[in-house]
Structures are given as C-alpha cells and as structure tokens.
C-alpha cells in the first residue's frame, strides 16, 4: 500500500487550529496571518483538519503520542524537561529497520527521544526551552531545510523532520495577541509556501502543531485552546478523498470543523510508507488519505484492526467483550459488506480507545496507603515536638534526633531488605521495600528520643493542656482555618476557587484584629489606635492583592485575568522602589531601630536593588512593545538597542548583578552580624536623666512598658532641639558623641557596654543641683533581634522581586508591608505564642502565590523566567529562577516566622526559651503544610477515577508535595539554622 517514497514533516510548535483558518472581522494579531494552509486545502491536493491532542499538552508527551500512537500519562509531564529515549515501538524505529535515512533539524527533544534512528550526518538540533529566544531555532531549521529540499540533495534522505519553535515561544513570552506572534505566523506562512513549491511529486508534505495554547500563550492542560491544533497535508500528485464541504465548516472559528486525533497520524504514516503499524498504536487511519475505489481504505482499516487485536492480546486487562466485537467485524469482511464493516470498525476503534483511556493510569493503592500512613506519622511527630516537649528540652533534643535518625534509617533499610528477601510481598519490589523502610526508619528515629524521655500519657496531656489553657478567639480561628483549608480539597469547585477561600480567611482574621483593637480596654489608647491602623492596612492590602489574578480555565467567565504587564505596572514598580523602603523605615522608627545597618540595608541597598529590578522590566517592556513605541520604525535606534543585542546584554547584566548581590553578597554581609542599634552618649538635664533611667530600668528587667515608645519619641524630640541649639550657638555646653555599633568589632562593643554600665554605677543617683549629667542610651535596644533579622528577609525578597513579573512584584511589596503590620499586631494583641500567628503567615503565602500569577496548574508555571540570568538551560541558575518565581511568597513567609517571637523584644538572658518559641512557630507552620498535603493526597486518591482528577486534584496534590519540600528545607536550613541561629548568637555575644 506504499503511496509515497518521501515525507517532509514540519512541526510548528503550538500551532492552534484557529491560527490557520480565515476569521472574518477579527483584529487579533494571531488571526488571518497564516492563509496558505487553508488556501491549499481548497484544492484536491491539500487537506486541513483539526488535530486534537490528548492531555498533557507538553511537547515531549505529544511527540510520544505522535510517534507511538499511545497515550502518555499525566505524570509523565515532568519528563518534558529531562527526556529519555523512547523504547516503545514507533514509526521512526520502523524506518530505521528498513535502512531509511531520517534527516532532522529543530527542537532537540527529538534527538533526546530518537537519536539512534536519525542520520547523524543530517541532524541539526537546537536548544528548545529558552522561550525568550524566538528566532534561533526557526532560523536554524530554515537554514538546513531548503538546501535538503533541493533536487541535488533529495537522495540523501527519505524522511525529513523540521520542528519550529518560534510560534510557541512567542506565545509563552508575549501571549498570542502580540505583534511578535503575527510576525512568526507570517514567517511560517512563507516557509510553507516555499516548501510546497520545492517538494517533488512523490513527496508528501505534513504540517501540524503538537498542541495549541491558551489565552496567555501557555499550554500543558486540557482546555479547548490547548487541545486544538492544526494538521495540513499536501501532495502534488495524489488527490485526497475528501468528505462533504459541511465537514470543513470554518464558521465560529471552526467549532464544527472535522477533527481527528493526533494518534491517528501514526497508523496513517505507517500505512502510506508501507511500514508495520507500531505495536502500541491506538489510533485509526485518516479517511481522506485513502481512496475507496480500489479498497485502500478497507485494507487500511483491516491492518489497523489486526494491530489493535495484537495489542489486546498482550494486555489481558482489557475487556473480553472486545473479542466479541472483533469477531463480528471479521464476519463483515468475509461477507464483503464493506460499508457495514467500515462503520462497525470505527465504532470498535472508539470503544477500544475509550477502554484504554479508562485504564490510562494505574493506581497502586498499597503504595498510596503507605504514603498516607507515613505522612500521618510525621504529622504526629511534628505536633508532639511543637506542642508537647518542654521548651527547655527542645534545643537539646534537636541534636539527639540527628544520631537517632541516622541509626534508625539504616536499621529500617536492613529490616525492609530482609522482609523482601524472606516474604516477597506482592506488589513490592526491592526499591519500594527499601524506600518504605528508610521512611519508617526516619520517623522512628525522631520518635525514639521523645519516647525515651517522656511517657505517652504525659505528652497527650500536654497537647490537651495547650489547647485548653491557650484557647481563645484567635486560636479558635487558627483551628477553623486549618480544618476548612483541608476540606477545600474535597470539592473540585473549592479547589478551583481556592484563591477566594484564602482571601476570606485572611479578611476574617483582619476584621477580628480590628474589632479586638477597638474594644479591648486592656490595651492603652495609643496602642489601640496604632493597632487599628495596622489592622486597616493589613485589610486594605489584602483586598488590593486579591485583585491581581491569573484565571484558571474553570473560573471563566466569572473571572477576569488582571495579571498582565502594562505601562502602569512598570510605573508602579519604579514608585515602589522608593515607597517600600520608606514604609519599612517608618516601621523601624516605631521601635527606634533605624540606625547603623538599617539605613544602609533599607535606605541604600534595598532601594538600589529595586531600582535595578524596575530598570530590568522597563527594558523588557520596551523590547516587547517596539511597535507601540514606534522603535521598530527608527532603523538606527532599533539596530543599536535590539539587533545588536545591547538590550539582551543589559538585562543579563542587571539580573546577574541583582541576584548575586541579594542572595550571596548581602547574605554574607548579614552573617557578619549587622545590628540596627546605636550607642548614644549625652550630657543632659536631670529631667532627661530621670526619663532615660526609667527606660533603662525596663530594659534591664526585659520588660516592655506600654509608654516606652512614647518616652523614646519625647527624648528624640529633645535631641532635635539640642542639635538646633548647637547650630545657632557655638558656645552651647552640650556635647554629643555617637558611636555606631556596626563600626566596632564585637569585643570593642562589649567593652563599650561595660564602660557604660560602670559609669552608670559610679554616677550619683540623686543630685540637689540641677547641673548637666552624662546620660547613656542604646537606641534600638528594644527591637535588636527583630530589626536585624528582618534585613535577612529583605535580602531574599530583593532577589525574588527580580524574578517576578512587575504586577506580581507589586503584590510582593504589599506582602512585606502586610508582614510588618502583622508583626506589630502580634505584639499589641499579645499573639506571639498564639496558634493563629504562623497560620496567618501560611495563608499570606498562598494569597500571594495566586496574586503573582500562579495557579495549581502546569500552564501557570512561568518557565520563561528561568532564562533571566542565562541564555541556555544552566543548572542551577535556570532552576533557581523558576523556584524563586513559583514559591517566592512561601519562601518570604517562611523566613518571617522567627519574627513572631523576636519582633519588639530586647536582648534576653534566656535565649534558649526564646529559641524554643521560635522552633514552636516553625514547626506549627510545618504542621499546617503537612496537614494540607495529607488532605490533598487523600482526596486525590479518593477521586482517582473522577473526571477532573488530572485537571484539578492531581495538579493540586503535586503542588502540595513540592511546596511541603520547599517549605521544610527553607524553614530548617535558612530560617532556623542560618537566620535565627546567627541573629541570636550575635546579639547575645554582644549584650550577654
């Protein structure tokens, strides 16, 4: 049945079907720019069809389906970025076995999958994942394609593959409705026109898209726009067996246009080239490619039917009633009833395909149950560790866990291996047994030191006592929020609208804080007013952040996406580079902590980095909107800025500089121990001495009197008056000497503090003569931990702001202000040890995850930002950018957790107790994320046969699992070990 001796197969990545048909009256950039396909399809030698992809709509999975005819699973989507060679039967393998020469150029995913089948002399792969590069791959394909199509080179190949990426990359970078998309579609139109003119009479030209794209230019899910690609075939000699014109209706953007499955191409190509149909093929030949006059179509169906029956015989899990239908089909052939056979065959093939789809994914309930059990055991440990162990024991036991975990994990591996050798449990291979034993060993290793020291009854009573004696309105809210968030995963509608649920929780907390500040008479009037302002700030910013969103497909038409980059978002980003440092400066001045390292980090460093961030996105915006600014018409300017690569070099330099300074240089400098305090020596009147003595009395007692801030502010006002008097009257006898702590070594600071204390001890307590006296004060002493630690948060925040798109960066700026307002509220309302504090931070992380343009879906991952610092995939820089972009809000709130305890407290003579409270809040955050992960796992398993499992439940569980890993690593390594450890060590080394 061989009909063609050669095939030219051109893949235009993400070629959505409506890009290829006329759409009257449309002003979109992506419509009516690619007319050649539809024009040629109006002849008998051309055919244009809607090409339906199977989810997941990622390139690697589509290539597997297009070459093997099988259905790659959803979980395989992760291998799109780490592909391995395909070991299944496919038509490239069959070509290779017949000594056919395969030429290739374009997306290097093909070489990762089929490198052994491609002629190495005619293989030209290009890096595929740099979505910011629209032209390199396409230009490379064009460079090698047309020389091979020339008549003198036509004997070098039998099958030629070209894979263009420009349309896909334009969608990822700009979205489909951008002039760059128009230019790429026009370029592809010219390429196909030239290819049609150059192929010979015995060559079949196939052009198709592997998937479509959604309204944002992304893909990976199963929305209509992502699934509908285009398929075009052209032959100069052969005519196609087309159906009636009504089958090719282009009205309503082709809603009723004839469609075929992508896997149908596999059997079609195999039969047209006289190849065996791949063993795992589930598709059916495309009718139009085979004539009915000489029985070609019937023969094609018969060969495909035999292949499907062979596939069934090797898969006994398929239903036996398929055999009955198969025998009935054979009888139709024997009776030579062709029309009945063709009709019955199509029904059989559809039934066969649906049966295979029902068995698409196999669920190992044994492993799922084991995973749920291990997660529950870890949850019990975290709750016990955070709420049952006395604070004095927390720090000492933390070191005991290390040895115990190592020992018990080794024991678990040995025992699990022994169980496997002796019992050979069903469904468990050696890897599964070892993994289970290792996980259980770790959990037992954590539990062993606890059970060695404390009885189970005592631990249970401590947990109960915690909730009984610490139970109030806010702790009740924390429990309710946790339960409701876990129950969200029981409904696909609630998962889809999770962002609105989170906003409801946060708003509820903010309103409760506002009411508490207004009505609680135990709080001073000043603090009530201040707390009310912080609560209002928190509520307003929460509402503003919620207006920034990227809508899921399921949320439409009830959701309007606002996560876009436009001119006003760029202007706001520039404004925030000044407003955010000024706002943080205000919060620092509330505790009189804007000294020493504060102005350097906030007033200079943060402003510098944010200005560079805004500059980066300004260049990016101008580059993306050359047509709007008219730059593309100014030849010399366009040549200098863009064609020369100057703008790209500037962006790379800015991105590398900001990330290096914020993540490495700033953190290294911070680890040297900068403090936001100042030693202040003055000669003042007796009244000043009395006021300062009151403050020092409270500081010495580790107390925080309600009017302390007010007193300090009064003293500052007197300082300003003294400075003015010094400028006006040189003979003023008041002399002042200020020494910044940052300028001195720790040993010098300790000596200076001792001198201050000795001077205070030797100075007379009372004096009958009102003569000026020497007064010593440590400004910023009452928030020495918090002010210093928050600089670490700013270091990471500056880097995360860079890898977040402008409107998302504005959201993260709101997050930082919300956090500072929360810290003040926790202090005013005495919520430092309340369950609600870390839970609200968790909710803030989720809110700003959604407001930075993310959803629990694969298409919402902003892959393009991985190439901000590199032009190709480079580990770990590409991966780090994507990690910071996706989980940036969670990283920030994880770093903030210690501030619940450390904000607005002076140096304490009980650092172990303070550290224990920090650990309690950290483990509470771990508990919250573990709870949500367990809940999403349970409901994903429960709804494993649900229609929406791969679209809603499975992606949400995958997000929970990844988030739990990221949160635990950040909390342990950066928050506890690096951040809290360094801060407390440095402060206590200086102040004792």
Q: Which residue has the tokens 């809110």?
A: 847
DSSP 617-684: HHHHHHHHTHHHHTGGG-HHHHIIIIITSHHHHHHHHHHHHHHHIIIIIHHHHHHT-----EEEEEEE
pLDDT given for residue 78 in this prediction = 44
Distance CA 296, CA 85 (A): 34
Average pLDDT over residues 466-491: 89
DSSP-assigned beta bridge partners for residue 206? 9, 233
Let me know if 340 is exposed, middle or buried by CB neighbors in 10 A (0-12, 13-18, 19+). middle
Task: For 266-297, write each residue's pLDDT tens digit.
Answer: 999 999 999 999 999 999 999 999 987 788 88
Q: How far apart are CA 525 and CA 675, in angstroms?
A: 31
**Pairing mode, if any, of strands 159-164 and 6-12?**
parallel
Give the single-character DSSP code of 222: -
Distance, CA of 324 to CA of 310 (rounded, Å): 15
332 band by pLDDT with thresholds 50, 70 and 90: low
Q: Tell me the CB-side half-sphere exposure of residue 805, using CA atoms within 13 A.
A: 28
- Averaged pLDDT, 538-558: 93
Long-range contacts of residues 315-320, Cβ cutoff 8 Å, at least 24 apart = 317/359, 318/352, 318/355, 318/356, 318/359, 319/355
Tally of helices (H runs) and strands (E runs) in the chain = 39, 11
Which is more confident, 541 or 386? 541
* Residue 106 zone, left/alpha/beta (φ > 0; ψ -120 to 50; rest): left
Question: Which of 173-177, 495-499, 683-687 shows the highest mean pLDDT?
Answer: 495-499
Domain boundaries, the chain: 6-74+87-283, 494-673+784-991, 678-779
Residue 180 to residue 101: CA distance in whole angstroms: 35
395 CB burial (10 A radius; 0-12, 13-18, 19+): middle
Q: List, for residues 340-361, the tens digit of each pLDDT value.
A: 778 888 888 888 888 887 766 6
- Quickly state the pLDDT bin for 219 (edges 50, 70, 90): confident
* CB neighbour burial string for 867-886, b if at least 16 within 10 angstroms, e if fewer: bbbbeeeeeebbebbbbbbb
pLDDT-wise least confident of 52-66, 75-89, 100-114, 283-297: 75-89
For range 734-754, the mean pLDDT: 47
Q: Which residue has the tokens 């299944």?
A: 88
Q: Is the pLDDT of residue 169 over 70?
A: yes
| Mean pLDDT score, 79-92 | 70
Maximum average pLDDT range among 153-167, 379-393, 751-765: 153-167
How many Cβ atoms are within 10 Å of 752's Cβ, its own excluded? 17
Cis status of the peptide bond prior to 876, with omega within 30 of 0 = yes
With contact defined as beta carbons under 8 Å apart, do 281 and 298 qualify?
Answer: no
Q: What integer pLDDT is reported at residue 529 of this predicted model?
A: 95
What is the pLDDT averaged over residues 7-21? 96
In the sheet where 678-684 sits, what is the strand order? Answer: 736-740, 678-684, 773-779
Spatial neighbors of 328 by CB under 8 A, at least 6 apart, are 344
**CA–CA separation, 766 and 773 (whole Å):** 11
What's the half-sphere exposure (Cβ side, CA atoms, 13 Å) at 841? 35
Phi, psi of 705 (to 5 degrees): -65, 150
**886/803 Cα distance (integer angstroms):** 9
Q: Which residue has the higher pLDDT, 507 or 873?
A: 507
Q: Residue 75, SS3?
A: helix
For residues 582 and 813, is the Cβ–Cβ distance under 8 A? no
Question: Does the pLDDT at position 759 exceed 80?
Answer: no
- Model confidence pLDDT, tens digit, residues 203-215: 999 999 999 998 8
Q: What is the pLDDT of residues 574-632, one digit of tens each?
A: 999 999 999 999 999 999 999 999 999 999 999 999 999 999 999 999 988 888 788 77
How far apart CA 930 and CA 938 sit, in angstroms, is 12
Task: For 382, list phi and psi in degrees, rounded to 5.
Answer: -60, -40
Answer yes or no: is pLDDT of 824 > 80. yes
| Of the candidates 470, 321, 401, the residue with the CA atom closest to the CA atom of residue 836 | 470
End-to-end, the C-alpha distance of the chain in Å comes to 90
Which of helix, strand or coil describes residue 267?
A: helix
Is the pTM of the predicted complex or chain greater than 0.95?
no
Which is more confidently placed, 332 or 101?
101
Q: Which of 70-84, 491-505, 539-553, 733-747 has the lowest mean pLDDT?
A: 733-747
Average pLDDT, the chain: 86
Q: How many Cα atoms occupy the beta-carbon half-sphere of 958 within 13 Å?
A: 17
Q: What per-residue confidence (pLDDT) applies to 718?
A: 46
Q: How confident is residue 457, by pLDDT bands cut at 50, 70 and 90? A: confident
How big is the CA angle at 856 (ends 852 and 857), to the nearest 5 degrees?
105
Cα 810 to Cα 794: distance, rounded to the nearest angstrom: 15
| pLDDT of 135 strictly over 60 | yes
Q: What is the pLDDT of residue 669?
A: 94
The Cα–Cα gap between 51 and 243 comes to: 16
Higher pLDDT, 724 or 761: 761
**In whole angstroms, what is the distance from residue 929 CA to residue 838 CA?**
11
Enter the CATH code of domain 6-74+87-283: 3.40.720.10
Give pLDDT tens digits for 776-811.
Answer: 788 889 999 999 999 999 999 999 999 999 999 999
pLDDT digits (tens, 9 = 90+) for 879-898: 999 999 999 999 999 999 99
């Amino acid at each position: 049945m061989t009909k063609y001796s050669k095939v030219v197969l051109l893949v235009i990545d993400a070629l959505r079907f409506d890009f290829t048909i006329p759409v009257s009256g449309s002003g979109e950039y992506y419509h009516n720019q690619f007319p050649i396909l539809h024009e040629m399809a109006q002849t008998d030698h051309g055919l244009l069809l809607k090409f339906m992809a199977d989810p997941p709509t990622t390139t690697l999975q589509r290539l597997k389906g297009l070459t093997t005819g099988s259905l790659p699973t959803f979980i395989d989507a992760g291998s799109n970025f780490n592909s391995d060679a395909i070991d299944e039967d496919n038509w490239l393998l069959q070509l290779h076995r017949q000594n056919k020469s395969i030429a290739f150029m374009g997306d290097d995913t093909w070489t990762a999958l089929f490198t052994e089948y491609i002629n190495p002399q005619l293989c030209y792969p290009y890096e595929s994942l740099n979505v910011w590069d629209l032209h390199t791959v396409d230009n490379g394909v064009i460079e090698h394609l047309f020389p091979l199509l020339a008549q003198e080179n036509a004997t070098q190949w039998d099958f030629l593959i070209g894979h263009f990426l420009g349309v896909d990359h334009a969608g990822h970078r700009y979205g489909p409705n951008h002039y760059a998309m128009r230019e790429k579609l026009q370029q592809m139109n010219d390429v196909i026109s030239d290819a049609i003119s150059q192929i010979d009479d015995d060559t079949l030209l196939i052009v198709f898209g592997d998937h479509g794209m959604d309204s944002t230019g992304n893909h990976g899910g199963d929305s209509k726009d992502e699934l509908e690609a285009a398929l075009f075939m052209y032959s100069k000699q052969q005519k196609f067996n087309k159906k009636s014109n009504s089958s090719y209706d282009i009205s309503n953007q082709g809603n009723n246009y004839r469609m075929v499955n992508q896997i149908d191409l596999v059997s079609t190509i195999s039969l047209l080239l006289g190849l065996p149909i791949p063993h795992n093929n589930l598709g059916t030949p495309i009718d139009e490619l085979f004539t009915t006059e000489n029985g070609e179509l019937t023969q094609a169906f018969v060969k495909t039917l035999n292949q499907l029956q062979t596939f069934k015989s090797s898969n006994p899990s398929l239903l036996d009633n398929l055999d009955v239908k198969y025998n009935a089909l054979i009888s139709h052939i024997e009776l030579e009833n062709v029309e009945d056979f063709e009709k019955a065959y199509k029904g059989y093939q559809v039934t066969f395909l649906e049966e295979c789809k029902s068995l698409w994914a196999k669920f190992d309930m044994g492993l799922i149950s084991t995973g749920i059990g291990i997660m529950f055991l870890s949850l019990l440990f975290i709750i016990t560790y955070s709420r049952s162990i006395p604070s004095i024991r927390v720090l000492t036991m933390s070191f005991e866990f290390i040895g115990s975990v190592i020992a018990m994990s080794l024991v678990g591996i040995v025992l699990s291996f022994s169980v496997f050798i002796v019992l050979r449990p069903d469904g468990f291979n050696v890897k599964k047994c070892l993994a289970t034993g290792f996980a259980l060993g770790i959990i037992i290793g954590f539990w062993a030191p606890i059970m060695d020291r404390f009885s189970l009854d005592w631990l249970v009573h401590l947990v109960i006592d915690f909730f009984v004696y610490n139970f109030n309105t806010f702790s009740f809210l924390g429990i309710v929020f946790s339960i409701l968030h876990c129950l969200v995963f029981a409904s696909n509608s609630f998962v889809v609208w999770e962002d609105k649920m989170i906003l409801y929780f946060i708003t509820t907390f903010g309103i409760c804080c506002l009411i508490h500040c207004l009505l609680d008479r135990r709080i001073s009037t000043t603090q009530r007013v201040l707390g009310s302002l912080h609560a209002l700030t928190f509520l307003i910013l929460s509402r503003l952040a919620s207006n920034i969103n990227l809508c899921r497909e399921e949320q439409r038409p009830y959701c309007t996406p606002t996560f876009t980059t436009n001119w006003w978002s760029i202007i706001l980003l520039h404004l925030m580079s000044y407003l955010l440092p000024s706002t943080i400066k205000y919060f620092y001045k509330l505790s009189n902590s804007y000294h020493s390292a504060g102005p350097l980090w906030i007033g200079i460093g943060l402003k510098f980095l944010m200005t560079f961030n805004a500059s980066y996105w300004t260049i990016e915006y101008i580059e993306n909107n050359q047509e709007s600014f008219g730059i593309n018409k100014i030849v010399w300017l366009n040549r200098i800025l863009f064609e020369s690569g100057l703008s790209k070099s500037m962006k790379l330099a800015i991105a590398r500089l900001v990330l290096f300074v914020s993540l490495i240089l700033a953190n290294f400098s911070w680890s040297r121990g900068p403090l936001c305090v100042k030693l202040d020596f003055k000669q003042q009147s007796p009244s000043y001495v009395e006021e300062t003595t009151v403050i020092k009395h409270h500081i010495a007692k580790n107390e925080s009197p309600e009017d302390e801030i007010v007193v300090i502010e009064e003293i500052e006002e007197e300082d300003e008056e003294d400075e003015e008097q010094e400028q006006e009257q040189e003979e003023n006898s008041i002399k002042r000497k200020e020494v910044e702590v940052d300028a001195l070594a720790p040993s010098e600071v300790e000596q200076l503090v001792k001198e201050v204390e000795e001077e205070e001890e030797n100075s007379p307590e009372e004096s009958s003569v009102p003569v000026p006296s020497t007064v010593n004060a440590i400004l910023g002493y009452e928030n020495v931990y918090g002010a210093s630690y928050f600089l670490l948060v700013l270091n990471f925040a500056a880097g995360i702001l860079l890898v977040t798109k402008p409107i998302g960066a504005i959201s993260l700026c709101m997050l930082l202000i919300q956090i500072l307002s929360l810290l003040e509220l926790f202090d005013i309302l005495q919520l430092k040890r309340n369950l609600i504090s870390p839970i609200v931070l968790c909710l803030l992380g989720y809110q700003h995850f959604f407001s930075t343009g993310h959803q629990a879906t694969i298409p919402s991952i902003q892959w393009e930002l991985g190439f901000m610092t590199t032009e190709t995939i480079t580990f770990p820089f590409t991966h780090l950018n994507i990690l910071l972009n996706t989980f940036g809000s969670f990283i920030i709130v994880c770093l903030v957790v210690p501030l619940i305890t450390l904000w607005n407290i002076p140096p304490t003579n009980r650092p172990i107790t303070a550290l224990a409270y920090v650990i309690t809040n950290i483990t509470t955050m771990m508990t919250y994320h573990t709870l949500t992960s367990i809940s999403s796992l349970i409901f994903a398993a429960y709804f494993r046969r649900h229609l929406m499992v791969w679209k809603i439940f499975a992606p949400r569980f995958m997000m929970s699992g990844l988030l739990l890993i990221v949160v635990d690593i950040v909390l342990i390594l950066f928050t506890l070990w690096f951040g809290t450890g360094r801060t407390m060590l440095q402060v206590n080394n200086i102040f004792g």
